[in-house]
Structure 1
Amino acid sequence: MAVTSVIASEASLFLTPQSIIFDEKSRSQAVHVVNRGNRTGVFAIRWIDHTMTEEGRLFTWKEPDKSPWSLQPYVRYSPRRVTLRPGESQLVRIALKKPYDQVPIGEYFSHLNVVMLNKNVEESIRQQEEGSEEAEAGVFRVVARTGISIPVLWRHTRDQPAAEVEISQWNSSQQTLSLQVKRLGQVSTRGFLHVIYQQNGKEKRLLDPHPLVIYPNIDGRKVNLSLANRALAGGKLYVYYSADKEHWDKPLGFASIQL
C-alpha cells in the first residue's frame, strides 16, 4: 500500500521571537506574524493574562484589570488584525506607554495571542460567490479557532532572575526526586532543570533539560522528577536550574544530595 504525504490547504501561523522582555533600556520591540501555509489567512492580535499555580497549571484571568501583574495597561500595539497571503509576514510593534517613572516597581507580564479567524480566505470567497449548499440546507459548521501565544514581560526593576533549589525528598526505591524551586526577588524565572550524576570523578546527565517557569504571582514551584531505571548507588546528584537549555555552568540556583 502506497503512503501519500498530504499538505493541508490552509493558512499556518508562526511567531518570532518566542518571547519578549522589556527592561530599563528597551522601550519598543516587535513580533513577526508569519503565514507559512498555502492559503490566505486572517489573524486577530490580542492580549491574554494568566496566573500560575505551584504545580505549574495556568489559569486565564477573565478580567485583565483584576490581575495586578498585567502588562496590558502599560503597552500599546498595532496592528490588531491582519490578512496574510501564503508566505507573507506582518510586523506587530509593541511599545511601553509613558510616563515610565509613575508605574510601581515590579515585573508585569501578559501573553500576546494571535488567533486565526479564517484559515482559507480563498475558499470563503468562493463559497460566498457560488452560494453555499450547506447554508441553504440549514447546515452550520463549528470551526475551532487556533492560535499561538508568546510571553511579553516588562522588568520594571533592577532585580535579575535568581532562584533557590531545594531537594525536599529523594526516594531511592522508586528513584524519584522531589524539588522545591523558589523564586528570589520580584521577577519571574524561565529556564531548565538539569540533573547531573557524579561518581568517581565522572559526570553524566540523567535527564533531558526539564523546562521550568515561575511566574511572579507565586513564590515557587513544586517539581517531581523520575529517574527510574537508572539504578543509582553511591555518588552524588546535582540539580541545576539554568536559563540555558544546554549548559548548567551559570545556574540561577542549584542543590545537591549524596546518595
Structure 2
Amino acid sequence: MNKHLLFGTAALLLGCAFSDSLQANLLVTPTRVELDEKRAKSAVFSLVNKGTKTSRYEIYFEEKRMLPSGDFVTLSKDDGIAKANRAIDEALISQMQATSIAKYLRYSPRRLTLEPEQGGRVRLALRTPKTLPEGEYRSYIVFHQIPLAPKVQNNNTSKDGQSLSLTISAYMKIAVPIFLRVGDLKADISLNTGKLELSQGQQSLQVSLHRQGARSSYGDLEVINPVNNQVLGSLKNAAVYSELNEKSYSVPLSETLSPGSELIIRFTESDKLFEHQRIETRLRF
C-alpha cells in the first residue's frame, strides 16, 4: 500500500520577507487598492506568470493587521482565527472583523490558470450598504498558487514493506491590501528620530512614525542633507496603519555621517489620502 504525503507548503506575503525567485514567478499590479463610495468603486488586478511552468492560483480574501514589529497577524479564512494566533487579544480580533470589507466585495474569477509569460485579470467591485458607518475599512485579496497535480518524489520503503512518498513544494502567496474610507478621515502624523546604527560598514537612521486620528498613513520617508539637498536615504511606502499609533523604520544611508552633521527627515504622505501631509524635522548629530 502506498502512502502519499504532501508536505511543506510555504506561504509568502507581499511586504514580508520572501524568496526573490518565488516572488518573481508572479507579477501582480496594483499592489494597493484605494476604494471609496463615490468614484472608485471597482478595481482590476493584472497577473503575469513569470515562471517557466504553468501555474494555477486560488483567489480569496484574508483579514490581517499590522504589529509594531512589522509582522502581520492573519485571521484564518476557514475557522476565524488561525491556530498559530490563538494568543491574539480578543479585542483585536473583534476590530479586525468589524473593519473588514470582504463581505462588500465581489470579484471574478475565483481561480486562474496561467501559462508561462501569460497574463490574466481579476475584476473586483464594491457593493456597500447606505448605512455603512464612517471609518476606514481594509481587507486583503490573496493570490495563492495551488498545485496543478501532486508529484511524488523520494520514494522510500518502511520496515513493514509499505512505500512512503514525500513531496516538498513551495507555493507562492501574495496578499494585496484593499482600503475603503467612508467620510473625510484625518490623521495627525509626527516624526521621532532615534540613533544611528552601523552594520557592515553602512549607517542607517532609526525613524518612528507617530499616528493619531481616524485613518492610516503611508508614504515616503527621506533623509536629506540640508546643505546640498542630496537625498542620503529613502524608503517607499512606509506605513503606520490605523491599528497602530507608532511604527519604526530603519533608513539605510548612502554616506557615513561625521559628528556635527545635520539632517532633514521628511515624510510625504500619499496624495490619495484625505488632507495628506508633508512633515519635516531637523536633526544634528
Normalising by structure 1, we get a TM-score of 0.74
Counterpart residue type for residue 210 of structure 2: K
Secondary structure at 2:103 match in 1: helix
Alpha-carbon distance change, 36 to 160 in structure 1, aligned in 2, over 3 angstroms: farther
Gap runs ≥5 in structure 1: 1-7, 245-249
Deviation of 1:226 after TM superposition, in Å, equals: 6.3
Deviation of 1:54 after TM superposition, in Å, equals: 2.5
Distance 1:21 1:189 in 2: 13
The answer to whether residue 140 in structure 2 is matched with residue 140 in structure 1 is: no
Alpha-carbon distance change, 229 to 110 in structure 1, aligned in 2, over 3 angstroms: same
- In the other structure, the counterpart of 2:121 is 91
Structure 2 matches for 1:95-134, cutoff 5 A?
A: 95-99=125-129, 101-118=130-147, 121=148, 124=149, 134=155
Alpha-carbon distance change, 223 to 86 in structure 1, aligned in 2, over 3 angstroms: closer
Structure 2 matches for 1:1-259, cutoff 5 A?
A: 12-23=25-36, 24-62=38-76, 63=80, 66=94, 67=96, 68-99=98-129, 101-118=130-147, 121=148, 124=149, 134=155, 137-159=163-185, 163-167=189-193, 169-170=194-195, 177-199=205-227, 202-209=228-235, 211-225=237-251, 230-243=256-269, 252-259=278-285
Q: Identity rate of aligned residues, in percent?
A: 23
Secondary structure at 2:34 match in 1: strand
Alpha-carbon distance change, 27 to 229 in structure 1, aligned in 2, over 3 angstroms: closer
Alpha-carbon distance change, 204 to 177 in structure 1, aligned in 2, over 3 angstroms: same
Count of residue pairs the alignment pairs up = 233
Secondary structure at 2:121 match in 1: strand
Counterpart residue type for residue 25 of structure 2: S
Secondary structure at 2:229 match in 1: strand
Distance 1:141 1:224 in 2: 39
Secondary structure at 1:102 match in 2: coil
Alpha-carbon distance change, 231 to 30 in structure 1, aligned in 2, over 3 angstroms: closer
C-alpha contact 1:69 1:217 (8 A) present in aligned 2? no
Instruction: Describe the superposition over 1:23-49 as per-residue Cα deviations: whole angstroms up to 9, x where unpaired.
Output: 231111111122223322211001122
Deviation of 1:14 after TM superposition, in Å, equals: 1.8
Distance 1:205 1:180 in 2: 18
C-alpha contact 1:13 1:147 (8 A) present in aligned 2? no
Gap runs ≥5 in structure 2: 1-20, 82-92, 157-161, 271-275
Counterpart residue type for residue 69 of structure 1: T
C-alpha contact 2:153 2:165 (8 A) present in aligned 1? no
Secondary structure at 1:87 match in 2: coil
Deviates more, 1:173-182 or 1:16-25: 173-182
Counterpart residue type for residue 112 of structure 1: I
Distance 2:128 2:226 in 1: 52
Instruction: Describe the superposition over 1:169-203 as per-residue Cα deviations: whole angstroms up to 9, x where unpaired.
Output: 4569997744331224322222221011223xx22
Normalising by structure 2, we get a TM-score of 0.68
Deviation of 1:89 after TM superposition, in Å, equals: 2.4
Distance 2:198 2:173 in 1: 43
Secondary structure at 1:144 match in 2: coil
